[in-house]
Amino acid sequence: MARVRKIAFEEHYTAVGFKDYTKSFSQHIDPAVFADIGARLEDFDDMRLREMDEAGIDYVILSQTGPGVQAEPDAALALSRARQNNDFLAEQVARHPDRYGGFAVLPMHDPATAARELERCVGQYGFKGSLVNGHTNGRYYDDPAYDTFWECMQALDVPLYLHPVDPYVTPQAYQGHPELVGATWGWGVETATHALRLLFGGVFDRFPRLKLILGHMGEGLPFQRWRFDSRFSVYSHGITLQRAPSEYIGSNIVITTSGVCSPHALNAAVAEMGEDAVMFSVDYPYESTRIAARFIEEAPMDETVREKICSGNARRLFKL
């Protein structure tokens, strides 16, 4: 079988000053394992490019690993570190412009400040959008104050990748079960809920050209589209939307396969959302590039659909 060329864009790195933020989850990973992850996060040459070549990945869009400045309580420091990080990333991208693009780190503490930093990164560095690690100290972006930011993002015509993060307050249901709080379960629930806040908060009605990206096969949302329509029609609580809830999932909300290498889930997501709304990614270095590449190459599907998922949809979304 000929190797299918690929683009990936939940591919992480880290920069000076950001390791303190990762302690929230790295403390739960075996130190030897995280030492290897840490080395991969800091590498922009040998290891990363070799894995890309072996997997047939032509191009990746790099993003700062979570939780990043979303976990920084000081807004001024968050801006300073975001700018430093974005400048650093631009330098790495400039060294391999045919292989790397960048997602901006944004200090979402203040919507106008975040909008200005996004404008700077897109205009000055050609970044492809942004990756934001969930809420900022418990503040969610359906808050009408963030319309300033969403207006800017729509005008720039770049997407935002909403990446998982811990819940601001750990739910009672997780008490005594720390394994549920993070990547195994809680991160997906947290991120899907944030995306639904944007949907039901009318953000996509106010800014209909927005594109929000969810990883991990859409954090489960594709598989609940029918139920969202059914139950919202009964329990709307006075909220009105211009379209059925399901219609935003696949148009405004698009997804990647990162971290879910299940052919059955992939085919179901394509069936629910359409072949233009699903895209390949790895979640490097937390997931195996080799396994992800083999999965997408061997999953049973039409080859024209496979090409869209592996690279075509990303080329269109990011204007590559």
- Give kind and range of the element (H or E) at residue 160: strand 160-162
User: What mean pLDDT is predicted for residues 66-87?
Assistant: 95
Closest CA to 164 of 222, 209, 213, 120: 213
Neighbours of 95 (CB within 10 A): 11
> pLDDT band at 36, cuts 50/70/90?
confident
Catalytic residues: 283
User: What mean pLDDT is predicted for residues 22-43?
Assistant: 78
Q: How far is CA 283 from CA 60, 65, 189, 226, 260, in A?
A: 11, 10, 18, 28, 10
Residue found by looking up tokens 């859409």 in the block: 218
Amino acid identity of 285?
P
- CATH pick for 6-318 out of 2.40.40.20, 1.10.287.70, 3.30.450.40, 3.20.20.140: 3.20.20.140
Lowest mean pLDDT among 27-31, 47-51, 216-220: 27-31
Is residue 62 within 8 Å of 93, Cβ to Cβ? yes
User: What mean pLDDT is predicted for residues 161-172?
Assistant: 96
Is residue 292 within 8 Å of 282, Cβ to Cβ? yes
Whether pLDDT at 296 is above 70: yes
**78/107 Cα distance (integer angstroms):** 6
Q: What DSSP letter does each residue of 57-95 carry, written as one string?
A: EEEEEEEEPSSGGGG-S-HHHHHHHHHHHHHHHHHHHHH
Is residue 211 within 8 Å of 254, Cβ to Cβ? yes
